[in-house]
Structure 1
Amino acid sequence: MSEPRMSEPRMSEPRRSPERERLLAAVERVRGVATAHAEASERQRTLAPAVVDALRSSGLFAIAAPRALGGAECDPLTQMEIFEAMAHADTSAGWSLMISALLAAMVGGTLPDEGAREVFAGPFPTFAGLQVPCGVARRVAGGYALEGRWAFGSGVRHARWVFTSAIAAPEGGAPPAGPPEMLSLAVPREQVVIEDTWDVAGLRGTGSEHYRIEGAFVPEARTCPFPAAPQRRGGALYSLPFVALMAAGHVGFALGVARRALDEIAAVAPRRVKVWPQLALGSHAAFHMDLGRAEAKLAAARAYAFDALGRMWDRARAGEALSIDDWSAIRLVQTYVTEVAAEVAGFAYRAGGGSALYAESPLQRCFRDMHAATQHISATDDAYEFAGRARLGIAALHPMLAPRPSPAPAGREP
């Protein structure tokens, strides 16, 4: 397989993290381990322990967390490149890194000081958890009793903490006067029951199991409002609302998988002989044209991603709230880049012919895993509908897009 061909975007340096080169070099150190254990992760239906260990020792799990808690606090553009590079190396490693790193950003930016100190004590922690309020949190002395069942706990088997969300049960049993209060809660992995449910077609190596929590006590300090928790520490990154904070992850993953698919088919084409004309795929003019189109589509999607996320980041650094047009771009770029990446991976898989069916072929894994990613809530078709309404001036913000309240004073860095 050739080295990844990821062109350097043209942008002003102040946007970029000084940690960028070091962290991209860390991805390259992990690459060989992730590639060597890709099939093992698939068979085990969770990331192979050797890959988890390599990611831990690399420091990559800390890329998005606040510096005050041992993180690198990378900007969204740098994050996107790191997730892209890791997904190019191995889809399961890329997805697992993305989930844990971005949950670390959420936890680190929003938990009260006491809870943050507990969660981030010791070696840098790994995280899993679904941010959909499938559970119920009942108020008890000093905190909450949490119970519920959640799906898609990517990386839960190697996580140290599960950061999940729930509806706060009304005190006294009275129905709430308005929308229910929702919370995010950090729970030690030992208090979580993992169900063996992750038998799926794509992203098999991510261990995205269902999990249950059966009445675990969660102290107040390990909770925060959901989805619009106030920022408690760190810089402009943690002022971004939940969906915006997550955007770099899904986009970077999709770009990395599609680039790997194109690199793989380019390597296969000279030696793959098509049966009917008895000519190598790489000598077919039709394949040349399709490959050129795929390269153009992927490069355009990548440039769009840097533009949309860059404008979002500029707004955050300037202390400006995201407008409806900004939200339209943030949602559009995630759905559009995912669609383009799935199309590109599909082209590469089909061009690979019968040999692409075999488990050892990265082409089938790129195809399956990229199409699995199209099912994620970050990449739904209603992003286009929202953009259309925004263009007509009739869009309204969903609660998941609501701005964060004014920053809480404790621990906030300038």
Structure 2
Amino acid sequence: MSEPRRSPDRERLLAAVERARGVAAAHAEASERLRTLAPAVVDALRSSGLFALAAPRALGGAECDPLTQVEVFEAMARADASAGWSLMISALLAAVAGGTLPDAGAREVFEGPFPTFAGLQVPTGLARRVAGGYAVEGRWAFGSGVRHAGWVFTCAVVAPEGGAPPAGPPEMISLAVPRERVVIEDTWDVAGLRGTGSEHYRIEGAFVPEALTCPFPAAPQRRGGAMYSLPFIALVAAGHVGFALGVGRRALDEIAAVAPRRIKAWPQLALGSHAAFHMDLGRAEAKLAAARAYAFDALGRMWDRARAGEALSIDDWSAIRLVQTYVTEVAAEVAGFAYRAGGGGALFAESPLQRCFRDVHAATQHIAATDDAYEFAGRARLGIAELHPMLAPRQAAGGAR
């Protein structure tokens, strides 16, 4: 029998967001000034249990399905984009690490209070084999949440033994390193998502035991249910979609609140009384609702395949990549409309409209939302698309539970 389509923890997790959202919203400006989440926000997310929402139950997680993940990340991003983004990154890295690390490594990482994670899954570091593990060095960008993380889960190329170049693609690994052994650089001075603390970070020759590593990108599933059989890009898709939907919704919330009291200089009438604004707002509502429905359809079909134990097809991959890019673009369009409609008042730092505009446009720069998703979909439609190694299915592994 396949797993239930929706998590039994859905209501509990959404209630947890409700408890944390007020703290995140109240400290949004402080997080911007600090360029990382304010300590009160981190404490609220920890105490809510939300960092554990996507990790395997065997490690203390909620093992939440992708559709519920969309709703949870959407709700937190609606309260504050930086909090929503930071929650997404930590929770999904916990899912990847929890589903794939060897048993000894998983016990070490997940013992005690539930851990927080940061890290970039792009192999810009180098790992050299040594007795019992790897000596790792390198520099990575975009370590969202690294200043409050307990672990950095990142990725490196394995140096060929003997110095000979590999005959095929290089071997790559993911690896978990305690945050204390990572050098954080002060680089996150940016336009959007300022409160995420997405600093560059370095690892300088640290020893990483074999138990804290796994193959990348197609590590074997070692524990958990159907969700952890999904390849990396599919596993994290719900996070990017939920984040974008939440910021788009917050932008429409804000412009709806501003419209009755914003008096346009010409002809001295409230924005909320203009028929043209009514039409534009209606279109924006329809666009965001349609994008949300598309997201639940595409990710629902992906989840149904995983629950049935079926491999993802080229058409599935086309939909997974399309939905992340398209929903992010729609959210950016909606936030752009709301920002422009907000007039001069939207320019000021205290306006959530400018923050929504900046934050969602920062998300459009993420690799998960790039335009080549449309190119891939076009090739898939013509029957000429090929799977990238990042889309490869996970290896089979015994002991998944």
TM-score for the superposition, normalised by structure 1: 0.95
Structure 1 Cα separation of the partners of residues 369 and 340 of structure 2: 23
Q: Deviations over 1:333-354 (max 9, x none)?
A: 0000000000000000000001
Q: Residues 386 and 186 from structure 1, CA distance in 2 versus in 1: closer, same or farther, beyond 3 angstroms?
A: same
Q: How far is the alpha carbon of 1:174 from its aligned partner?
A: 1.4
Q: Which residue of the partner structure matches residue 317 of structure 1?
A: 307
Q: Which residue of the partner structure matches residue 30 of structure 2?
A: 40
Structure 2 Cα separation of the partners of residues 279 and 147 of structure 1: 61
Q: Residues 297 and 270 from structure 1, CA distance in 2 versus in 1: closer, same or farther, beyond 3 angstroms?
A: same
Q: How far is the alpha carbon of 1:179 from its aligned partner?
A: 1.0
Contact in 2 for aligned 1:233/1:411 (Cα 8 Å): no
Q: Tell which deviates more after alignment, 26-35 or 170-179.
A: 170-179
Any idea what SS the aligned residue of 1:183 has?
strand
Structure 2 Cα separation of the partners of residues 362 and 12 of structure 1: 43
Structure 2 Cα separation of the partners of residues 185 and 171 of structure 1: 19
Any idea what SS the aligned residue of 2:4 has?
helix
Contact in 1 for aligned 2:129/2:135 (Cα 8 Å): yes
Pairwise CA RMSD: 1.5
Structure 2 Cα separation of the partners of residues 73 and 363 of structure 1: 34
Contact in 2 for aligned 1:43/1:205 (Cα 8 Å): yes
Match of 1:182 among 163, 167, 172: 172
Any idea what SS the aligned residue of 1:14 has?
coil
Q: Residues 13 and 295 from structure 1, CA distance in 2 versus in 1: closer, same or farther, beyond 3 angstroms?
A: farther
Alignment of 1:244-263 (within 5 A): 244-263=234-253
Q: Deviations over 1:272-317 (max 9, x none)?
A: 0000110000000000000000000000000000000000000000
Any idea what SS the aligned residue of 2:236 has?
helix
Structure 1 Cα separation of the partners of residues 254 and 2 of structure 2: 32
Q: How far is the alpha carbon of 1:233 from its aligned partner?
A: 0.2
Any idea what SS the aligned residue of 2:385 has?
coil
Structure 1 Cα separation of the partners of residues 3 and 118 of structure 2: 32
Q: Which residue of the partner structure matches residue 355 of structure 2?
A: 365
Q: Residues 321 and 291 from structure 1, CA distance in 2 versus in 1: closer, same or farther, beyond 3 angstroms?
A: same
Q: How far is the alpha carbon of 1:85 from its aligned partner?
A: 0.1
Match of 2:214 among 212, 224, 236: 224
Contact in 1 for aligned 2:3/2:307 (Cα 8 Å): no
Contact in 2 for aligned 1:234/1:412 (Cα 8 Å): no
Structure 2 Cα separation of the partners of residues 293 and 232 of structure 1: 46
Contact in 2 for aligned 1:113/1:411 (Cα 8 Å): no
Q: How far is the alpha carbon of 1:175 from its aligned partner?
A: 1.3
Large movers: runs of 4+ above 4 Å:
none
Any idea what SS the aligned residue of 1:345 has?
helix
Any idea what SS the aligned residue of 1:211 has?
strand
Structure 2 Cα separation of the partners of residues 164 and 12 of structure 1: 32
Any idea what SS the aligned residue of 1:230 has?
coil
Q: How far is the alpha carbon of 1:15 from its aligned partner?
A: 1.0
Identity of aligned residues (%): 91
Any idea what SS the aligned residue of 1:151 has?
strand
Structure 2 Cα separation of the partners of residues 26 and 310 of structure 1: 23
Contact in 2 for aligned 1:41/1:205 (Cα 8 Å): yes
Contact in 2 for aligned 1:89/1:260 (Cα 8 Å): yes
Q: How far is the alpha carbon of 1:13 from its aligned partner?
A: 11
Structure 1 Cα separation of the partners of residues 398 and 393 of structure 2: 20
Question: How many correspondences in the alignment?
Answer: 399
Q: Deviations over 1:121-160 (max 9, x none)?
A: 1100000000000000000000000000000000000000
Q: Residues 320 and 345 from structure 1, CA distance in 2 versus in 1: closer, same or farther, beyond 3 angstroms?
A: same
Q: Deviations over 1:244-265 (max 9, x none)?
A: 0010000000000000000100
Q: How far is the alpha carbon of 1:411 from its aligned partner?
A: 7.8
Structure 2 Cα separation of the partners of residues 13 and 317 of structure 1: 6
Q: Which residue of the partner structure matches residue 78 of structure 2?
A: 88
Q: Which residue of the partner structure matches residue 71 of structure 1?
A: 61
Matched, 1:381 2:368: no
Contact in 2 for aligned 1:147/1:215 (Cα 8 Å): yes
Contact in 2 for aligned 1:236/1:317 (Cα 8 Å): yes
Q: Deviations over 1:39-69 (max 9, x none)?
A: 0000000000000000000000000000000
Q: Residues 13 and 165 from structure 1, CA distance in 2 versus in 1: closer, same or farther, beyond 3 angstroms?
A: closer
Structure 2 Cα separation of the partners of residues 196 and 100 of structure 1: 20
Q: Which residue of the partner structure matches residue 6 of structure 1?
A: none
Q: Tell which deviates more after alignment, 339-348 or 12-21.
A: 12-21
Structure 2 Cα separation of the partners of residues 120 and 246 of structure 1: 20
Q: Deviations over 1:90-136 (max 9, x none)?
A: 00000000000000000000000000000001100000000000000
Q: Tell which deviates more after alignment, 190-199 or 13-22.
A: 13-22
Contact in 2 for aligned 1:202/1:368 (Cα 8 Å): yes
Q: Tell which deviates more after alignment, 167-176 or 97-106.
A: 167-176
Any idea what SS the aligned residue of 1:274 has?
coil
Contact in 1 for aligned 2:119/2:146 (Cα 8 Å): yes
Structure 1 Cα separation of the partners of residues 325 and 55 of structure 2: 25
Structure 1 Cα separation of the partners of residues 80 and 398 of structure 2: 37
Match of 1:303 among 293, 301, 320: 293
Contact in 2 for aligned 1:156/1:209 (Cα 8 Å): yes
Structure 1 Cα separation of the partners of residues 3 and 58 of structure 2: 23
Q: Which residue of the partner structure matches residue 52 of structure 2?
A: 62
Q: How far is the alpha carbon of 1:413 from its aligned partner?
A: 4.8
